[in-house]
Structure 1
Amino acid sequence: MDIRQLTLEDFDARAELGMYAFQYRKSTEELEKEKQDFKPERTWGLFAEEQLSAQLTLLPLQTYIHGQVFEMGGIAGVATWPEKRRQGLVAKLLEHTLQQMNEAGQSISFLHPFHFPFYRKFGWETYIEYRKYTIPTNKLPAKVHVEGTIKRGIRDLELLNAIYEKYAAHYNGTLVRDTERWERKLPSGDELFTAVYYNPKDQACGYLIYEIADQKMNIKELVYLDERSRQALWTYIANHDSMVTEVNLQAPINDALPYLLNDPRIEQQVVPYFMARIVNVKHFLEQYPFTVGKVESLSIRVNDSAAEWNNGIWDVLINDEGKAKVSRREALPEGLQQDLWDHSDIDTDIQALTVALIGYKRPLELCSWGKWTGKLEAVYILESRIPVATTHLMDFF
């Protein structure tokens, strides 16, 4: 077996495997356009007897965590032929990709799973859920008069991104978007509409991306920076009540819309979405913005069966500014008993450590469920030093 990055000559084999695995077909013209945009260096393949047997795409992305930008490896397009399944090929690809991300300095990774239990075996864990709403027009938020203006048809990507960045930085796990991602979000000539809210000072403070079809408004993105922009955009949505019978959208898990509605009995779903895993414990912890406070130290034993460089006991010293110095416990000092040297304050695995630091679950919750074990005093340290935040993601890859 050979694992390598694809070349342009591998495009046809990659396309055939992708279309078969994900059950779609593309025309010759569509494939030719895709070939022109193909970045072979982002796709890794496992070859058996010189035939492409499994593949995945590794995207160099960035994500916000507590307002700070982290390098992130996004995994997509994992596929293998049915006759090659259950032979450990994808496992080999994932382990290889973890090494590539580690060497590239991508300290965290996200993926959208076809099957959550499968990726848990390799250290990824659910990090985000979102709310999915279906709202009849007669239950939409009440229309209110808001100072400012709504301008429809705005496709200034730089302006939209400026609003998005302020919004996204308040969440953990949102993507830093480049022009290429925005162009995929709003391709020219498509049927998506946009609307931007400008406050009385003519500052753009919110936007809407949506489509209207079959008397339904499907909202792709609803982004607002304050209460006034939220009210203005919802009033704009409600003004379509003569055109549509329902509105569909996705919202952050902590969204307060049902509470704010006059009648909160709308159709709601909580949908598990993406998974995450820390790729390099030391690098992630040393970049992580802990809350300010007194100087505190603790040790964490991490179990990571897919990335051996994370295994072991990590001694963590958090300074008064919230920066951590992290060292892996190595050789036993002379004169110290082995059982004392092997002691750690917290024992956990890479999944539970990830969801705590990214803000999906809190340390005390994880301790109560047995996901973390050890000294309660150490758990309380991290409970107080890990900032409270909500995970959210408005993109797909």
Structure 2
Amino acid sequence: MEIRDLTPDDLDAALDLRRRAFGPISAAEAGAWRHAVTPVLEEGRYLGVFDGSRLAGAARLRPFTQWWHGRPQPMAGVAGVTVSPEDRGRGVGTRLMRAVLDRGVALGEAVSVLFPATTPIYRSLGYEHGGGQRKVTLPAEALRGLRPAGQVKLRRMGPDDAAELIAVLHRVYAGLRASGPITYDERTWRLWLADDNDFRYLADDGYVVYRWNGENIRVVNLVAGSAETARALWSMVGTSSSVAKNVVAPLAPDDPVLWLLPERSQDHVEDQRWMFRVLDVAAAVERRGYPAAVACDAVVTVEDPVRGGGTWRLEIADGSGTATPVTAGAPAAVLSANGLSALYCGVPTGTLRLAGLMTGDDRHDEALDAAFAAKAYTLDYF
């Protein structure tokens, strides 16, 4: 079998794989998919496994920006991983994903995220559960009452607002010191902002995209950088309460709307988990943000049979970090690739040790917990 980049001539076969993996696709969905993936073919972001001339598996690396403690970095979002039914169980998926990891590094991306259909194959390649997309059901009538004290300027948003929307997201996520959420590139945002079924509004420090979903309202995204904007956006969504009983929205674990609701005794949450993978230790540590008040100096050994492990000195201070290769021999905390990936997402060292993902020197565990502390989430499923 051969692994190579897909070309426009391979898209019919790739679409057939998607149908076999995920079910029927309408003509409109197929057209939108072709429109979205065609530009990435020349960027080396769509790989296929070929048995002769037949496409046996495929996967796409989407170019996202991901935020870690308020600092952005490029991230490889792995999507559309498909293997032909007759080729399953032959190692095609593992071979494909190894190539995906290598390609992510070649593209300059030090971290990767995917939503797993099954966990074992991705765990075997160093991915670990890092966060989730939490969809919370909220009462529409309660949202309607969240009026801002002052006037918040909201305007309708379309494809030409993509660049401004990205700038707003960058300001808000940096200010919130967010960990885990992603932003799309301008090309992708222009596609999303052209959907006639969505209602889209932009403020100076926030935005909302929502749509009808049966008898309920589904919020696609809502991000706000101030209390007044949060109230304005949520109350506007709530104006549909004369027809819609509930609003289903993806929320950060500590989204302020959960504290603004006048009544909250039980959360109704659907949590779609995502898995995270460090591809390049030094670059990933350097690109991440950290609490400015935390300092850490620890030696860690990473056991990574897929990407190649090693021993690094982690030095974190003033909100920044470095990972410098050192000769093994000094006392070190030992992390599997999965363990390092989970630690990066804020999973405590105590959990990692009990799960068998971390062993060795424990003198710096508390400092590592403080440095990598995070409630990782994303608002987007891909």
Query: For residue 93 of structure 2, what is the aligned residue in structure 1?
Result: 90
Q: CA deviation at 1:120?
A: 1.2
- Sort the Cα spacing of 1:272 and 1:138 in 2 relative to 1 into closer, same or farther, 3 A: same
User: In the TM superposition, what is the alpha-carbon distance from 1:317 to its structure 2 partner?
Assistant: 4.3
| Aligned-pair CA distance for 1:12 | 1.8
2:5 equivalent in structure 1: 5
Q: Partners of 1:194 and 1:217 in 2: how far apart? A: 13
Which residue of the other structure, out of 368, 373, 380, is the alignment partner of 1:382? 368
**Could you say what secondary structure the match of 2:208 adopts?**
strand
1:329 is matched with: 327
Give 2:140's aligned residue: 137
Pair 1:394-2:369 in alignment: no
1:158 aligns with 2:163: yes
Match for residue 356 of structure 1? 343
Name the structure 2 match of 1:184: 191
What secondary structure is seen at the aligned counterpart in 2 of 1:385? Answer: helix
What TM-score does the superposition give when structure 1 sets the normalisation length? 0.84
* Structure of larger gyration radius: 1
Q: Which runs of 5+ in 1 are unaligned?
A: 198-203, 331-340
Q: Does 1:347 align with 2:347?
A: no
- The whole-number CA distance in structure 2 between the counterparts of 1:260 and 1:319 is 35
Shift in CA distance, 27/152, structure 1 to aligned 2, threshold 3 Å: same
2:73 counterpart residue number: 70
Determine the structure 2 residue equivalent to 1:333: none
Equivalent residue letter for 2:322: A
Distance 1:319 1:251 in 2: 30
User: Which residue number in structure 1 is paired with residue 234 of structure 2?
Assistant: 234
Task: Give 1:201-240 correspondences, 5 Å limit.
Answer: 204-212=204-212, 214-240=214-240
The TM-score normalised by the length of structure 2 is 0.87
Partner of 1:337: none
User: What is aligned with 1:194?
Assistant: 200
1:366 alignment partner in structure 2: 352
Looking at structure 2, the residues matched to 176 and 273 of structure 1 have their Cα atoms a distance apart, in angstroms, of 18
Contact map agreement 1:253 1:270 (CA 8 A) in 2? no
Could you tell me which residue of structure 1 aligns to residue 119 of structure 2?
116
Paired residue for 1:200? none
State the distance in 2 between where 1:42 and 1:392 align: 24
Question: What is the CA distance between 1:231 and its match in structure 2?
Answer: 1.8
Judge conservation of contact 1:57–1:76 (CA < 8 Å) in 2: yes
Query: Do the aligned partners of 1:43 and 1:56 also contact (CA within 8 Å) in 2?
Result: yes
- 2:179 corresponds to 1:172: yes
2:292–2:318: 8 Å Cα contact kept in structure 1? yes
Provide the C-alpha distance between the structure 1 equivalents of 2:283 and 2:37, rounded to a whole number of angstroms: 33
Q: Deviations over 1:354-381 (max 9, x none)?
A: 122233x233443455532233322123
Counterpart-to-counterpart distance in 2, 1:324 and 1:265: 43
Instruction: Specify which of 102, 105, 111 is matched with residue 105 of structure 2.
Output: 102
Amino acid corresponding to residue 160 of structure 1 in structure 2:
L
RMSD value, Cα: 2.9
Give the corresponding residue for 1:244.
244
1:335-357 alpha-carbon deviations (Å, 9 max, x no partner) = xxxxxx3x542011112211222
Verify the 8 A CA contact 2:202 2:208 in the aligned structure 1.
yes
**Percent pairwise identity:** 24
Aligned counterparts of 2:192 and 2:36: Cα–Cα separation in 1: 19
3-state DSSP class of the match of 2:59? strand
Secondary structure, counterpart of 2:34 in structure 1: helix
CA distance, structure 1, for counterparts of residue 360 and residue 186 of structure 2: 46
Counterpart of 1:313 in structure 2 is 311
Alpha carbons 1:157, 1:179 under 8 Å: kept = yes
Distance in 1 (alpha carbons) for counterparts of 2:70 and 2:13: 41
Q: For the structure 1 residues 378 and 28, does the alpha-carbon distance in structure 2 shift closer, same or farther, using more than 3 Å as the test?
A: closer
Match for residue 338 of structure 1? none
- In structure 2, the partner of 1:335 is none
CA distance in 2, matches of 1:88, 1:281: 27
CA distance in 2, matches of 1:253, 1:98: 29
One-letter identity of the residue aligned with 1:261: L
Residues 66 and 74, structure 2, Cα contact 8 Å, conserved in 1: yes
**Alignment partners' CA distance in 2, 1:144 and 1:226:** 13
CA gap 1:134/1:120 in 2 versus in 1, 3 angstroms: same
Aligned equivalents of 1:322, 1:33: Cα separation in 2: 39
- The equivalent of 1:260 in structure 2 is 260
- For residues 42-53 of structure 1, the aligned pairs below 5 Å read 42-53=45-56
**Aligned-partner residue type, residue 146 of structure 1:** A
What secondary structure, in the 3-state scheme, does the structure 2 residue paired with 1:274 have? strand
Write the distance in 2 (CA, Å) between the matches of 1:29 and 1:237: 27
Matched positions, count: 375
Once residues 289 and 144 of structure 1 are traced to their aligned partners in structure 2, the CA distance between those partners, rounded to angstroms, is: 34
- Paired letter, 2:333: I
- 2:294 and 2:166 mapped to 1: Cα distance? 37
Q: 1:191 to 1:67 in 2, by over 3 A?
A: same
Contact 2:172 / 2:206 at 8 angstroms: preserved in 1?
no
Q: Given the superposition, is the C-alpha separation of residues 327 and 157 from structure 1 closer, same or farther in structure 2, using an over 3 Å criterion?
A: same
8 Å CA contact 1:210, 1:217 repeated in 2: yes
The alignment partner of 1:356 has SS state of helix
